[in-house]
Chain A
Amino acid sequence: MIDFIQNLISGIAVGCIYALAALGFVLVYKSSRVINFSNGQFIAIGAFAAYALTVWVGLPVLLAALLAMLLTAGLGFLVERVFLRRMVGQPIISVIMVTIGLASVLDGLMYLTPFGSGNFTFPQFLPPGGLELAGINISYPQLMAIGFTMVFLLLFGWFFQRSVLGIAMRAVADDQMASMSLGVSVRRVFGLAWAVAGLTAAAAGIVVGTVSGLNQDGLIAIGLAVFPAVILGGLDSVPGAVVGGIVIGVLQSFSTAYLDGVLGQIGLVGGGSQYAVPFVVLLVMLWFKPHGLFGTEEIERV
């Protein structure tokens, strides 16, 4: 039983990292219907910015993390102003291609820096080991991931339900033309969505960097690993991103614990089912519930 609970808790912790990485993705989609394929690059840039500020500039880690999140938010805002704003009203496939191109450009720019090749680690700012309770162990970086996710979830919950800007964002997501006719600045909403997406991506990058070190490809890969989570939760649902991330994290943990051994016994070398399980879930979800668990089901009347 202890093993089961431990695997569950570990899965939830990893799921929270996925959720954190997925939040920015969902925010951009929720407000502008743009699928942001450069989410992983924002995660990497945020993490490297925090590293540069703390190791090269000498700032305390937490201050560096805060500044890195703000800088990445600024980058998100800039990207929207320079690239995405021109695409308003263009076919969705064109917008998607722009984000794919953006990912490529950001990749290339990072390769020009020392971060393009090599592994880096943050100076240790959390206590070593983990928190042990009744035989259940959880590392401090994982606790930080859970904390970040919960804080962002609460903030976004309040923001979208109570604040004028949040309600404006929901209105824009629902109907851009109607929102504009009511005086909502769609451009402002888009810019804000990209900025907040940059901020949450940086938070995810910092958490991943604390857990497993900083490596450009590793960080970018997290940005892609969230796809099953957002498809499961629903592309336009913030709570869905969290639930989706946690479900995927737990499934990965359980498949490593219980499925890999069975696969090994029947002669399938290596197991590694944790890599396949999220995508099996993704396919099943697309089959039965294409809008995800919490996604908005759009009904088109013709």
Chain B
Amino acid sequence: MKRGFVLAMMVALGLALAQGRTVNLLWSGAITGPTSDVGGPYAAGIEDYCKYANEQKLIPNVTLNCIVRDDQYQNPNTQRILEEALDRAKPAIYLGYSTGAMLQLKPLINEVRLPTIPASAHIGLIEPPHNQYMFLPVSSYSEQFVALLEYINRTKKNARVALVVNPSPFGRAVVDVSRRAAARLGQTIVDVREVGGGNLDNTALLRALDAAGVEFILHQNVAGPVANILKDAKRLGLDKKIKQLGAIYTGGSDLIRLAGDAAEGYLWASSYYTLDENAPGINLQKQLAQKYNRSADILNSTNYTAGMLAAAIAVEAMKRAAQRFNGRIDNATVYQALIGMNGPNAFKPGFAVSTKAGIEIDFTRTEQTGAEGLRILEVKGGKFVPVTEPFTSTLFRQVRNP
């Protein structure tokens, strides 16, 4: 009897070991509520990549449990979700979302030493204090803005530029660094305006900027407000006179859908490949969207690509942690794997463009930005098409800090 019991226990243990361990990955963001047009596809990208990682057994002997939670863009919800997860699920890595919540949670994340990859590319997240465990998947909003100013400088010297930003830390993040970069480039920042959602008419704004001799408007916002400004500029006949450009979340399929033909000519800084390009990550995106019955809207969204890239980095870091630390996957080993993701060990999933050195994603202990290459894309015939080769801002590192 006793021998039978021991045998049964050993069989059960053997079965459990054969099935492998479960490791948790946490994401919380706005699947509903403000900015859910970004958060919805982003979450879908994470979910689909997680399913794919489990199906393909990307991390041998490990089942990945991706906890995807809707915080409705409410910082208290984000905090509660993270604290609950820390208590119960002990995630090895956290994929965050909004600028505000991430800034608020920086001290906690630092305290519990949890590697975090936010959707927000606010430069403040990777600047001291409490920045050690934050990793931006692509270049920051600030870096993209400096790159856009450099691009303007290539086409027009001494340009007169206006910044139109979201009335939030997300929007304001780019203002100071843009002023410093413009001063170096001989450009004039004529005006800085804050425009949020619900901008039903932008006539006064556009006429004021036109009267001030503005030649370029740089947007740091989400697609909705930018689309309204583009439509009004076209209606007022200012679309030919004032060129409009923007960073990460201003562009993509949402902008084209909302602005229609008024989006033609809009310039967008993006690190991601477009859906029309033959890149390994994009091909995987198409394959997974079809496999998991995602709508055309989700498939076409750059935020779906962005979610997949964040999940791909996380999964790769877990895989490398397991390889390097005898199967141990936790916050400490994943952190080590992330900061070792450079040089010959840089990660190349094929979602984002590479730098001239051929590196797509790399991190070090002090360099916490993943994809540093970006391109300028322009709306032509209802699609974003690249109008530059991938490049990295040369000026950003000089003007990053005052």
The judgment on whether A and B are partners is yes
A: residues with CB less than 8 A from B are 3, 6-7, 10-11, 13-14, 17, 111, 116-121, 124, 128-130, 137, 139, 142, 208, 211-213, 215-218, 221-222, 225, 253-254, 256-257, 260-261, 264, 269-272, 275
Interface residues of B in 351-376 (CB under 8 A from A): none
Chain A residues whose CB sits within 8 angstroms of the CB of B40 once the complex forms: 117-118
Instruction: Pick from B192, B196, B201: contact of A253, CB below 8 A.
Output: B201
Contact mask for chain B residues 195-217; partner A; CB cutoff 8 A; 1 contact, 0 none: 11111110111011001100000
**Could you jot down 24 A-B contacts, CB within 8 Å?**
A7-B204, A10-B203, A11-B201, A11-B204, A116-B36, A118-B37, A118-B297, A119-B224, A119-B254, A137-B235, A212-B199, A212-B228, A213-B224, A213-B228, A253-B201, A253-B203, A256-B205, A257-B208, A261-B191, A264-B191, A269-B172, A272-B194, A272-B195, A275-B196
Residues of B within 8 A of A257 (CB): 204-205, 207-208
Within 8 A of A (CB), among B202-246: 203-205, 207-208, 211-212, 223-224, 227-228, 231-232, 234-236
Given contacts A111-B32, A117-B40, A137-B235, contact A3 B193 (CB under 8 A): no
| Closest CB in chain A relative to B293 CB, distance in Å | 14
Q: Would you give the shortest CB distance from A251 to chain B, in whole angstroms?
A: 11
| Interface residue from B167, B193, B236, B257 paired with A137 (Cβ < 8 Å) | B236
Contacts of B207 in A (CB 8 A): 3, 6-7, 257
Q: Which residues of A contact B231 (CB under 8 A)?
A: 139
Q: How many whole Å from B341's CB to the nearest CB in chain A? A: 32
Minimum CB–CB distance from A246 to chain B (whole Å) comes to: 13
Distance in angstroms from A136 CB to nearest chain B CB is 10
B205 → chain A closest CB, angstroms? 5
* The 5 nearest A-B residue pairs measured at CB: A272-B194, A117-B40, A270-B194, A257-B204, A117-B36
A266 CA to B232 CA in the complex, in Å?
A: 28
Is residue B33 within 8 Å, beta carbon to beta carbon, of the partner chain? yes
CB of A278 to closest CB in B, whole Å: 12
A125 CB to nearest chain B CB (Å): 13
Give the residues in chain B near A212, CB-CB below 8 Å: 198-200, 224, 227-228, 258
Neighbouring B residues of A117 by C-beta, 8 Å: 31-32, 36-37, 39-40
B204 pairs with A271, CB closer than 8 A: no
**Nearest chain A residue, comparing its CB with the CB of B254:** A119
B34 at interface by CB-CB < 8 Å: yes
Contacts of A271 in B (CB 8 A): 191-194
Q: Which of B37, B191, B192, B203 lies at the interface centre, i.e. has the most chain A CB atoms within 10 A of its CB?
A: B203
Task: Flag whether B165 is at the interface (Cβ < 8 A).
Answer: yes
Per the bound structure, the CA–CA distance linking A119 and B36 in Å amounts to 9
Q: Which residues of B contact A130 (CB under 8 A)?
A: 235
Smallest CB–CB gap between A91 and chain B, Å? 29
Residues A270 and B200 in contact in the complex (CB < 8 Å), given A119-B223, A213-B227, A256-B205: no
A261 in contact with B208 (CB, 8 Å): yes
Do A215 and B204 touch (CB < 8 A)?
no
In angstroms, Cα B231 to Cα A272, docked, is: 20
| Given A116-B32, A117-B31, A10 contacting B201 (CB threshold 8 A) | yes
In whole angstroms, what is the CA distance A212 to B198 when docked? 8
Contact A221 B197 (CB under 8 A): yes
Q: Evaluate contact between B36 and A256: CB separation under 8 angstroms.
A: no
Residues of B within 8 A of A7 (CB): 203-204, 207
Min C-beta distance of B67 to chain A, whole Å: 19
Q: Which of B167, B196, B200 has the most CB of A within 10 A?
A: B200
Q: Which of B165, B192, B234 has the most CB of A within 10 A?
A: B192
By a CB distance below 8 angstroms, the chain A residues around B223 are 119
Known: A119-B224, A119-B254. A14 touches B200 (CB 8 A): yes
CA distance A271 to B195 in the complex (A): 9
How long is the Cα–Cα vector from A257 to B207 in the complex, in angstroms? Answer: 8
Query: B198 contacts A225, CB within 8 Å?
Result: yes
List chain A residues, Cβ under 8 A from B195: 272
Interface set, chain B 84-120, CB cutoff 8 A to A: none
Q: Could you tell me the distance between the alpha carbons of A257 and B193 in the complex, rounded to whole angstroms?
A: 11
Nearest B residue to A215, CB-CB: B224
Question: What is the CB-to-nearest-CB distance from A47 to chain B, in angstroms, rounded to a whole number?
Answer: 13
B14 in contact (CB, < 8 A): no
Residues from chain B with Cβ under 8 Å of A137 in the complex: 203, 235-236
Q: Is B169 an interface residue (CB 8 A)?
A: no
Known: A6-B207, A270-B165. 6 other contacts (CB 8 A): A10-B204, A120-B257, A254-B204, A257-B204, A270-B175, A270-B192
Determine if B34 and A217 form an interchain contact, defined as CB atoms under 8 angstroms apart. yes
Q: In the complex where A215-B197, A270-B165 touch, is A260 in contact with B203 (Cβ < 8 A)?
A: no
B260 contacts A by Cβ under 8 Å: yes
Q: Are B235 and A139 in contact (CB under 8 A)?
A: yes
Task: Write out the residue numbers on chain B whose beta carbons fall within 8 Å of the beta carbon of A10.
Answer: 201, 203-204
Q: Which of chain B's residues have a CB closer than 8 A to the CB of A218?
A: 197-198, 224
